[in-house]
Amino acid sequence: MTRVFSGIKPTGHLTLGNYLGAVRQWAEVAQHRTDALFCVVDMHALTVDHDPARVRRLSRQAATLLLASGLDPELCTVFVQSQVDEHARLSYVLECVATDGEARRMIQYKEKAARERERGGSVRLSLLTYPVLMAADILAYGTDEVPVGDDQTQHVELARDLAVRFNQRYGQAFVVPRATHPKVGARVMNLQEPTSKMGKTDDAGPGIVYLLDEPDVVRKKIMRAVTDSGREVVYDRVARPGLANLLDILAACEGGNPEDLSGVYESYGALKKDTAEAVVELLRPVQQRHKELCADPAYVEEVLRLGAAKAREMARPRVDAAYRAIGLLAG
Ligand code: AQP
């Protein structure tokens, strides 16, 4: 059976981008058709300036939202990365296979390091090395497929390269994974800056729809989305990025095609109104279930405890084998 792994980092509140680009596929497709593991990758949240209490809080919230989004612990394994030591163990070994040039080429590293330097801050070494930790997250489980948004493609490519290189040098230890993306919604853009990704670490603002936003807040954000000058509703990601983003979001919500949808609308206002209502309806059951789960934190804790135990068992033999293959006296 195909093995699937993917994760989400608790660097902020989950967004519509996270949902449409990743989590919805995990819940609606992956867990039903594959042997899937989904992880709150909390160690990745330590790569930039962080508040420990906030990371803990956001990790619990992310896990709760994954369950609220429909992940079913009977069908898949849900856990927190730092509770399974194999990730960090394997990461070091992969650092001995990766090159520093490779790590420095990662777009997210370049962008975040530049931002940090602009602010006069220092760049954590872990910001450079975390794509290798992500490779370990993936490779530890013999993962075939990694369902992610577009922005993670380069990191999954690195995991592939490291798997191939390790296997060639030290013997077959890893499955070579591949990234998969949803047909629509793989890159949801910021509603106020439609040429930038809707990211959860960005400053909270009207351009980001959070999964837990109240319906009226969602409506307001979408009705105020930046659109382009012009009156005709056409789908053109380059010339009309704001409009294209709304069409993508509506198509992702309704399961349609953004180009076909563009022909249906005669005004930006009507498109915004329908998009807002579609998002409100999409989020309604998630928010309802989230409320129920918040009333039962012991249940979420137990799911994570069992998930970590299962993940540990799955990862351990492969990581031990990689240790032995690379020359360590692993038990
Ligand atoms: N805007 C998006 N559109 C589509 N997919 C997205 N994803 C994230 N944003 C979008 C996908 O969601 C999964 C989890 O993302 P993440 O937690 O790894 O990263 P993030 O939400 O992008 O968080 P940050 O902190 O704002 O990240 P940076 O600044 O690192 O990009 C992934 O599958 C991701 O592709």
Q: Do 287 and 302 belong together in one domain? A: no
Mean pLDDT score, 57-75: 98
Q: What is the pLDDT of residue 204?
A: 67
Is the domain of 281 the same as that of 161? no
Backbone angles phi and psi of 78, in degrees to 5: -115, 125
Residues 154 and 302 in one domain: yes
How many Å apart are CA 292 and CA 289, to the nearest integer? 5
Tell which phi-psi region holds residue 234, choosing left (phi > 0), alpha (psi between -120 and 50) or beta.
Answer: beta
What is the structure's pLDDT at 158?
98
- Say which amino acid occupies 19: Y
CATH for 220: 1.10.240.10
User: Is residue 128 situated within a structural domain?
Assistant: yes
Residue 116 counted as domain residue: yes
- The predicted structure's pLDDT at residue 144: 98
Helix axes 52-68, 268-294, angle to 10 degrees: 100
Q: Are residues 286 and 301 in the same domain?
A: no
23 and 102, same domain (yes or no): yes
Is residue 72 included in any domain, yes or no? yes
CATH number where 85 lies: 3.40.50.620
Does residue 274 lie in a domain region? yes
For residue 152, the surrounding DSSP H or E stretch is none
Count other Cβ atoms within 10 Å, centred on residue 277: 16
Quick one: average pLDDT of 289-301? 97
Check whether 256 has a pLDDT greater than 70. Answer: yes
Q: In this structure, what token pair is assigned to residue 53?
A: 């209490």
pLDDT of residue 203: 67
The answer to whether residue 280 sits within a structural domain is: yes
* Residue 19 near residue 147, CB atoms below 8 Å: no
Distances (CA, A) of 220 to 210, 216, 279, 299: 13, 6, 12, 34
Atom of ligand 1 nearest to the CA of 150: 35
pLDDT tens figures, 167-208: 999 999 999 999 999 999 999 999 999 999 999 876 668 999
Query: In this structure, which long-range contacts are made by residues 223-226, counting pairs with CB atoms below 8 Å and at least 24 apart in sequence?
Result: 223/272, 223/273, 223/276, 224/191, 224/192, 225/191, 225/192, 225/194, 225/272, 226/191, 226/192, 226/193, 226/194
Q: Is the CB of 59 under 6 A from ligand 1?
A: no
- The confidence score (pLDDT) of residue 242 equals 95
Distance 88 CA to ligand 1 centre (A): 21
**Distance linking the first and last C-alpha atoms of the chain:** 28
Atom of ligand 1 nearest to the CA of 197: 1
290 near 60, Cβ under 8 Å?
no
200 has catalytic annotation: yes
331 within a domain of the structure (yes/no): no
HSE, CB side, 13 Å, CA atoms: give it for residue 57: 7
Residue 199 Cβ contacting ligand 1 at under 6 Å: yes
* C-alpha torsion sign, points 24, 27, 32, 33: positive
Is residue 109 domain-resident?
yes
User: From CA 109, how far away is CA 112, in angstroms rounded?
Assistant: 5
* Domain co-membership, 116 together with 19: yes
221 and 141 in a single domain? The answer is: no
Over residues 234-263, mean pLDDT? 94
For 44, the domain range is: 3-181+297-326
pLDDT, position 202: 65
d(CA 148, CA 160): 15
CA dihedral 199, 204, 208, 212 (to 10 degrees): 100
pLDDT digits (tens, 9 = 90+) for 21-54: 999 999 999 999 999 999 999 999 999 999 999 9
The reply to whether 288 and 322 lie within a common domain is no
Q: Are residues 314 and 236 in the same domain?
A: no
Q: Among residues 112, 221, 272, 291, which one is catalytic?
A: 112
Residue 201: predicted pLDDT: 76
Q: pLDDT at position 205, please?
A: 82
Kindly state if the Cβ of 197 falls inside 6 Å of ligand 1: yes
- The single-letter DSSP state of residue 77 is E
273 is catalytic: no
Question: Predicted confidence band at 231 (pLDDT cuts at 50, 70, 90)?
Answer: confident
Type of residue numbered 248: D
Same domain, 170 and 21: yes
Report the nearest-CA residue for atom 2 of ligand 1: 17
pTM for the structure as a whole: 0.96
Considering the domain architecture, whether residues 64 and 33 belong to the same structural domain is answered as yes
Residue 64: in which H helix or E strand, if any? helix 52-68
Number of domains in the chain: 2
Say yes or no: 166 and 239 in one domain: no
Q: What's the rounded Cα separation, in Å, for the pair 264 and 279?
A: 18
Asked if residue 148 has its Cβ within 6 Å of ligand 1, the reply is yes
pLDDT (0 to 100) of residue 229: 81
Tell me, yes or no, whether 10 lies in a domain: yes
At 126-172, the pLDDT tens digits run: 999 999 999 999 999 999 999 999 999 999 999 999 999 999 999 99
Q: How confident is the model at residue 237, as a pLDDT?
A: 92
